[in-house]
Structure 1
């Protein structure tokens, strides 16, 4: 089983009002969670990305008021206070360039002695694109005109695929014996040549992670990623996703073990299963406050619903698909279908707005005593619903402490999780081969 820790950051998973919750930007918070993950022998520590403060109805969204530090800067600092833990940064392939990012990732891999990873994400968001000098973004409908370049075409994923391939060409431009060679790449999105400044790093290539559940995202992961960060709510949904993605690997000459599937999950513990269920209910109640319930609803409806009672019924009006009420957050692809799903859930169970939002937005959770949670985690891996999990705690920075102290020892006793690190690089933790150098 593979395990990773996600710093909860600025999202609705985090319970801000808990007195144990600390800073989202102070280095000691990141250090605490990373040290805890390493104490638990986790594979890697995972940071999200935020390239613009999100807005809601023209105001900065409450969950963004503390800001978002830059991932690679933080991970370079964490490399100095950890020894074995992998360090994974989410970096957008839409608003960066291959040469610069390849240098930064290779540098992290050197400074950490082979523990760097890149979570590749894309964006088709004009609101975020305004933060960048060219003012461009990869619009799915009208891409060449947006960036004003005849070279540009395709989708954010086609750019991401070429971006990753170009970065790997740069990493391979130094031979294993330390000789630099000129590189040249001319493609649909990038036309670059020169010499790369960073020698081949300890892992050869940093580990590549991809986040996404769409068909295009699955195909990209099968062709180019080492890990896929996903979510699925049930064992059966996980098994379906697992089988689908693993089946795509063969066409790219890859084996099932070459891509690790690791859904993001939450864990709530208690001395008994009943106590854990009570704890989980209290946490969800804190996560979905009356205000957050209305905000979640407005993200789908695209309308100002502040006059609605969170403890009352859902709106009887339809969503506005073209709304710009919410900016910087991903709106659902089909608001009308999502609203219909929420209405069906509300009507079937007699739920209020807040209760519906609480149930509809719940991330996949493992709830129970340490023994129960350990058994469920093992069941998902044994049933081929996942290769491991990325844990997203609800508290910063101590939300992982209980899992490491109480669940990890049980997993170790069951023989499904390491008791010690057996290698020094992230690739060794994940059981991934070092990339063969391409001459």
Structure 2
């Protein structure tokens, strides 16, 4: 039963990330299922909706990652196209939001705005777009233009892309009248008449994933949700305050952007059991081969001769070295290596143990009651508005959380007990965008 005064408490937002990217999934677990079968997507989405989550989130890969010229098959880096999957899920879900990751570097505004508006119509106002960018020529080889963008240019194009898409969505008035549009900018010059009527949300919800200064500024100017990561309560509070502070420069209020870090969890009947389970999950995620992969990404060198259970290399990273393609490059490998060495030396850790220690997401570990308390503390202490949960199993990795943690969050008055709106904007407490047509 909800405690007196609970309605006045800050409510957290929850989303479900379909696992399988960046070695998240524990493939050795017999409960690990298909990353391709529609039944997997449907199971996780249905579980999240049963848990009254705000949205279901799909990542995307435009090219299979390679390591030293070979496909690295220990992590899933691609899957069926996001909007296609979510359009199918719109037919078998009723309330949960449907968030597609789509690249703003290798798409065009008219075509993508049309697809997202169509998903918003099909789902009754539940569509979201996670805007990502790419500057690497390796991924660009799959596209006619190639990877021509400098790293600094990718956010410039993305910002104009989002602005152009919004112009298209706004070219239909709320009462159903289409009007010609014309956009002439640095990256896009498009004009005509948009052929999809204004959708239930006006604009699909825009999500931005990024921790860099450019990513934070882009989110403050254009996003409704920012998907981030941070390792401690204090780091979360600093990030939260920084991003919220930037909003006023764009005439926005703190509630106009929701901060939702991606997090993992491990549950046990006791704290010790949960810690043991979490340690085993991380050990399976960071196999010896994956440990060396992570090391080589930082060092930019072939380190296949090193023992994963031995010490870190004495040699320094090669700042210009590149052994992996299709991954985000390490911005300052020398600084990362120095931090890893400090952790390794302080705790006497091997290569594999160091990677386990330094590369995990924020994780909430404990009994269902203690995990509920930890999540609630992050929200009430101003470190997050909610969380995007990244389970380690496909497709049943969210089941325990929904069955055992969500009811406790509801008892604390920290999470909804029913959906009170039909659209994703209503779930997130976001206003309808003003149509300027």
Cα offset, 1:66, TM superposition = 8.0
Question: Are the equivalent residues in 2 in contact too, given 1:25–1:67 (CA < 8 A)?
Answer: no
Contact 1:123 1:137 survives alignment (8 Å) = no
Matched with 1:144 is none
CA distance in 2, matches of 1:288, 1:314: 16
Partner in structure 2 of residue 294 of structure 1:
292
Secondary structure at the counterpart of residue 38 of structure 1:
helix
Distance 1:389 1:210, change over 3 A: same
Distance 1:65 1:192 in 2: 36
Structure 2 counterpart of 1:89, from 75, 95, 100 = 100
Cα distance in 2 for residues equivalent to 1:269 and 1:306: 35
Deviates most, 109-118 or 281-290: 281-290
1:201 CA displacement: 0.1
Q: Deviations over 1:351-389 (max 9, x none)?
A: 111111110111110000000000000000000000000
Aligned counterpart, 1:175: 173
Give structure 2 stretches of 5+ with no counterpart.
Answer: 1-11
Determine if contact 2:61/2:77 at 8 Å carries over to the other structure.
Answer: no
Q: Give the equivalent residue in structure 1 for 2:68.
A: 57
The 5 A counterparts of 1:145-156 are 155-156=153-154
Deviation at 1:222, TM superposition (A): 0.6
1:150 corresponds to which residue?
none
Matches within 5 A, 1:107-256: 107-140=118-151, 155-256=153-254
Q: SS of 1:295's equivalent?
A: helix
Deviations 1:25-53 (A, max 9, x none): 11111110000000000000000010110
- The residue number in structure 1 matching 2:81 is 70
1:13 CA drift (Å) = 1.6
What is the number of residues matched between the two proteins?
Answer: 426
1:308-358 Cα offsets, whole Å, 9 max, x none, are: 111111111111222231100112101111111111111111111111111
Match of 1:364 in 2: 362
Q: Which residue matches 1:14?
A: 25
Kept in 1, the 8 Å contact 2:22–2:77? The answer is: no
Identify unmatched segments of 5+ residues in structure 1: 141-153
In structure 2, the partner of 1:330 is: 328
Partner residue in 2 for 1:43: 54
CA distance in 2, matches of 1:63, 1:421: 38
Helix, strand or coil at the partner of 2:202? coil
Q: Are 2:297 and 2:322, in contact at CA under 8 Å, matched by a contact in 1?
A: no
- Correspondence for 2:15: 4
Q: What is the CA-CA distance between 1:187 and the residue it aligns to?
A: 0.7
* Cα distance, 1:11 vs structure 2: 2.0
Query: Mean Cα displacement is larger for which, 183-192 or 127-136?
Result: 127-136
8 Å contact from structure 2 (residues 229, 362) kept in 1: yes
| 1: CA distance, partners of 2:44 / 2:61 | 19
Work out the CA distance in 1 between the residues paired with 2:279 and 2:163.
45
> Which has the larger displacement, 63-72 or 18-27?
63-72
In structure 1, how many angstroms separate the alpha carbons of the residues matched to 2:249 and 2:308? 50
CA RMSD of aligned residues (A): 1.0
Distance in 2 between residues matched to 1:9 and 1:278, nearest whole Å? 22
CA shift for structure 1 position 9: 2.2
**Contact 2:90/2:123, CA 8 A, preserved across alignment:** yes
SS in 2 for 1:265: strand
CA distance in 1, matches of 2:114, 2:186: 22
Query: Does structure 1 conserve the Cα–Cα contact (< 8 Å) formed by 2:63 and 2:326?
Result: yes
In the alignment, the residues of structure 2 paired with residue 315 and residue 331 of structure 1 have an alpha-carbon distance, to the nearest angstrom, of: 20
User: Which secondary structure state, in structure 1, belongs to the residue aligned with residue 340 of structure 2?
Assistant: helix
Q: TM-score when scaled to structure 1?
A: 0.96
Q: Deviations over 1:52-90 (max 9, x none)?
A: 100001100123568421100000000011000000001
Contact 2:138 2:147 in 1 (8 A): no
CA shift digits 1:73-123 (9 cap, x unpaired)? 000000011000000001110110000000000000000000000001111
| Alpha-carbon distance in 2 for matches of 1:61, 1:74 | 24
Q: Distance in 2 between matches of 1:66 and 1:386?
A: 27
Q: 2:62 touches 2:78 (CA, 8 Å); kept in 1?
A: no
Aligned to 2:293, what secondary structure does the other structure show?
helix
Following superposition, the deviation at residue 301 of structure 1 comes to 0.9
> Structure 1 residues 212 and 228, CA, compared in 2 at 3 Å: closer, same or farther?
same
